[in-house]
Structure 1
Amino acid sequence: MPQSFEQTMHEMLSQTRAVLTELHSLGVNELYLEDHGDVLPLCHEQPQCQTGRCDCRPPSLEEIRQELGDCQRCGLAQGRKSIVFGSGNPHAELVFVGEGPGRDEDEQGVPFVGEAGRLLERILFAMGLDREQVYICNVVKCRPPQNRNPQPDEIAACEPFLKQQLASLKPRVIVALGKFAAQTLLQQQTPISRLRGNWAAYQGIALMPTYHPAYLLRNPAGKRDVWEDMKAVMSRLAQEDSP
């Protein structure tokens, strides 16, 4: 017959008392509990940190996705099939940020799985990497109709989730793929042709703007520039103490 709740609790308390008594006999008068970060409240803004301790913690990718929910924050929700949140290694040192999902991404719910995605995979292969070693996401999580450019209100609705993703990932390097990713992260309107190839920073993280793979499909001559940018990224990642 199963023990009653009261009996179980009595046994647990007796065992705990015995352990504490033994520790006391050994001269242990205080117990120090590890300070786990997950007891901190979630950050809604940039955390304030002093001597390695912060007043809040960034949410996990799972918590961010849960908060996003069945998002209806902008008009893109009306025509989408899937929310394309992001995929890859949650501990990746290298993160690629694109513009938004296309038709194939909308169908599968995974970023960069169409023709542009296959080109990105070839770039990763040339870098000695694969999709499982990096993290890939987009500025907007839903497909703009006919793959048009995302509108400012759509970017504004999704940007907080992108910021939370990057805060959770804490990569060493971010690659901004194309105009909208670079301009959103850098908060400026400089053309991608002038931004690409020049190191910038996002929240203290090294950021390399470069051309979007979809642009390279239309303009193959740009592949040489992108490869130069990726070589700079590989060099940065190879440094033991990159800023």
Structure 2
Amino acid sequence: MVMNLGNKELWDELKFELGGMKLNKLEGVKDKKLLLGAGNRGADILFIGDDPDLYDDEELKVSLGTSGEFFMKLCDLADLSPEKYYITNLSKCVLKWRELTGNEREHMRDYLDMQIAIIKPKIIVSLGQEVTGILMGKEIKIPEVRGRIHSYFGGIKLIPTFDPSYVKRTRDASGRKAKPAIEFWNDLKMIKGEIEN
């Protein structure tokens, strides 16, 4: 799906605004770039994480051995090709959400809401407890909300699941039969099923 010109203009404006933002904790950090995300901006699936390793650039490039490489391999195995999704982080940079100031978080949440409005996904997949809590507007525990489809604004389906970096750590420590890895895989299959319906 190709974005129409109006959406491209909105996206370029959003990118420009983000590029002009200064984050306190990025001073002195080697990688200062701010990225809206990566993938197909017209996709039905929007993955939202809080992990700087999920993507290195807008073309879905990932570093070897990272949670991003692990995540993309699992998506490929679940037949969720990169054309089917867009992925973004809450903080849009190498920092995690909790490292941002309250004011910076407000700005980043505005950028995220604008991204959602422009992309118009059918499904938002929240990767991890922090992201899910922010989107649901309350404190949650992933095991209590994952495995089910929740409602988000505008009729969008919200599917919470584990943070890929957590899944990778538990799998590396316990093998591929680790419970979070099995449940994460089941969530990916559920997402694929929802897109096909």
Task: Settle same-fold status: TM greater than 0.5.
Answer: yes
TM-score, with length taken from structure 2: 0.80
Residue identity in the other structure for 2:132:
A
Q: Does 1:158 align with 2:116?
A: no
8 Å CA contact retained: 2:146, 2:160: yes
Partner of residue 169, structure 1: 119
SS in 2 for 1:137: strand
From 72, 75, 79, the equivalent of 2:24 is: 75
Q: How far apart are residue 77 of structure 1 and its match?
A: 3.3
Q: Which residue of 2 is the match for residue 237 of structure 1?
A: 195
Question: Is 1:60 equivalent to 2:10 in the alignment?
Answer: yes
**Which consecutive aligned stretches of 4+ in structure 1 deviate over 3 angstroms post-superposition?**
108-112, 147-152
Match of 1:113, as an amino acid? V
**Contact in 2 for aligned 1:82/1:109 (Cα 8 Å):** no
Residue identity opposite 2:77 in structure 1: A
CA shift at 1:58, angstroms?
A: 10
- Kept in 1, the 8 Å contact 2:25–2:100? The answer is no
User: Offset of 1:65 from its aligned partner?
Assistant: 0.8
Q: Does the alignment pair 1:127 with 2:78?
A: yes
Shift of 1:94: 0.8
Among candidates 185, 195, 219, match of residue 145 of structure 2:
195
Q: Give the corresponding residue for 1:18.
A: none
Match of 1:182 in 2: 132
Q: What is the root-mean-square deviation in Å for CA atoms of aligned residues? A: 2.7
Which residue in the other structure is 1:23 paired with? none
SS of structure 2 residue aligned to 1:96? strand
CA contact (8 A) 2:19 2:34 kept: no
Gaps of 5+ in 1: 1-35, 39-56
Following superposition, the deviation at residue 149 of structure 1 comes to 4.3
Partner of 1:32: none
Find the residue that maps to 2:182 and give its secondary structure: helix
Alpha carbons 1:84, 1:101 under 8 Å: kept: no
Mapped to 1, the partners of 2:83 and 2:89 lie a distance apart of 17
- Highest CA radius of gyration, 1 or 2? 1
**Aligned partner of residue 129 in structure 1, secondary structure:** coil
Matched, 1:206 2:164: no
Identity of aligned residues (%): 27
Structure 1 distance, partners of 2:101, 2:141, is 16
Question: 1:70: how far off?
Answer: 2.6
Q: Output the amino acid matched with 1:192.
A: I
Q: Counterparts of 1:151 and 1:198 in 2: how far apart (Å)?
A: 30
Secondary structure of residue in 2 paired with 1:219: helix
Aligned residues: 180
Determine helix, strand or coil for the equivalent of 1:91: coil
Return 5+ residue gaps in structure 2 as ranges.
Answer: 172-177
TM-score (norm 1): 0.66
Query: Match of 1:60, SS?
Result: helix
Q: Which shifted more, 224-233 or 152-161?
A: 152-161
The 10-residue stretch of structure 1 (227-236 or 167-176) with the greater mean CA deviation from structure 2: 227-236
> Does the CA contact (< 8 Å) of 2:142 and 2:162 recur in 1?
yes
SS of 1:198's equivalent in the other structure is coil
